[in-house]
Amino acid sequence: MQCGKKQLDLNNPVVMGILNITPDSFSDGGTLYGAGREHLDRCLRMAEQMHTDGAAVLDVGGESTRPGATPVASAEEMARVLPVVEAIHQRLDVVISVDTSNPELMVEAARYGAGLINDVRALQRDGALQAAASTGLPVCLMHMQGEPGTMQQAPHYPDVVANVKDWLLARVDACIKAGIGPHNILLDPGFGFGKTLDHNLSLLKHLNQLASLPHPLLVGLSRKSIAGKLTGRPVDGRLPASLALAQLALDGGARILRVHDVAATVDMLKVWRAVREVK
């Protein structure tokens, strides 16, 4: 997959490291939020460590999409994200993904060196489809029922796997009509986004049905509530469960694992791949 000037080889699964440039992330409590040179240096150190640990992609986000989150103004989101994208692009040989639903940021991030657009709203905001298509970059379309502020208020599906699959295919069709090539589309089932524990478990168990579609599958399960509900652990104690969930996602056909704990996930991926390659 051509991501701007860089190529992303998905013949084997890869790891995407998460860089939340927000004050209210559910997982890191705003560790990378701030301004100025010191803030930018902190973001770069984290990016460099994730890259050293084996991340093939770094996903930079300036708007929290945790349950109950409120939208961020476009100018604020751009002020958070663009300096980090530019600095990483200048320093590291890595694919940079921008986690945004903001059409203006999509276009500007591409100019600053981003190679992938990762949108939890699947390019549904006004102008997003056109903006994404104008960049020529690959896009990741994620399923979400509702909006972050309301998505966990009694989510319901007649058949969660079939419904998510059909919804994603409808968004793929909209992208293709807007001029985004099928080869430039990734899909994300949206674990934890408008879904109960049972919905998440069903999606994970039947992930192969989504992986059979002609678009690579990105999965984000790292530190999420599914791990907390199954183990009773707080966010900072969910690494073992996150690794188990990631391995199940690999078994189901995921090609990109979006995670906070890059080194541990890369180690798990090496073991998983070695076993898979034994004749």
Give the tens place of pLDDT for each residue, 173-228.
Answer: 999 999 999 999 999 999 999 999 999 999 999 999 999 999 999 999 999 999 99
| 98 has a pLDDT exceeding 80 | yes
Catalytic option among 258, 270, 273, 279: 258
> To the nearest whole percent, how much of the chain has pLDDT over 90?
82
pLDDT at 25: 54
Q: Is 96 helix (H, G, I), strand (E, B) or coil?
A: strand
Annotation says 258 is catalytic: yes
Task: Give start and end residues of each alpha helix (H) in 92-224.
Answer: 103-112, 128-135, 160-177, 197-205, 207-211
Cα 154 to Cα 272: distance, rounded to the nearest angstrom:
36
Structure tokens at 149: 């502020």
| 7 has a pLDDT exceeding 90 | yes
Least Cα distance to 107 among 128, 124, 126 occurs for 128
Catalytic option among 224, 229, 238, 270: 224
CATH architecture observed for domain 12-277? Alpha-Beta Barrel (3.20)
Say if CB 219 and CB 16 are below 8 A apart: no
pLDDT at 147: 73
pTM for the structure as a whole: 0.92
Q: Is 175 helix (H, G, I), strand (E, B) or coil?
A: helix
Torsion, Cα 93 94 95 99, to 10 degrees, reads -130
Residue corresponding to tokens 């705003």: 30
Q: Quickly state the pLDDT bin for 131 (edges 50, 70, 90).
A: very high
pLDDT at 27: 53
* Residue type (1 letter), 115: G
Annotation says 270 is catalytic: no
Cα 271 to Cα 113: distance, rounded to the nearest angstrom:
32
pLDDT at 31: 57
Torsion, Cα 167 27 227 171, to 10 degrees, reads 10
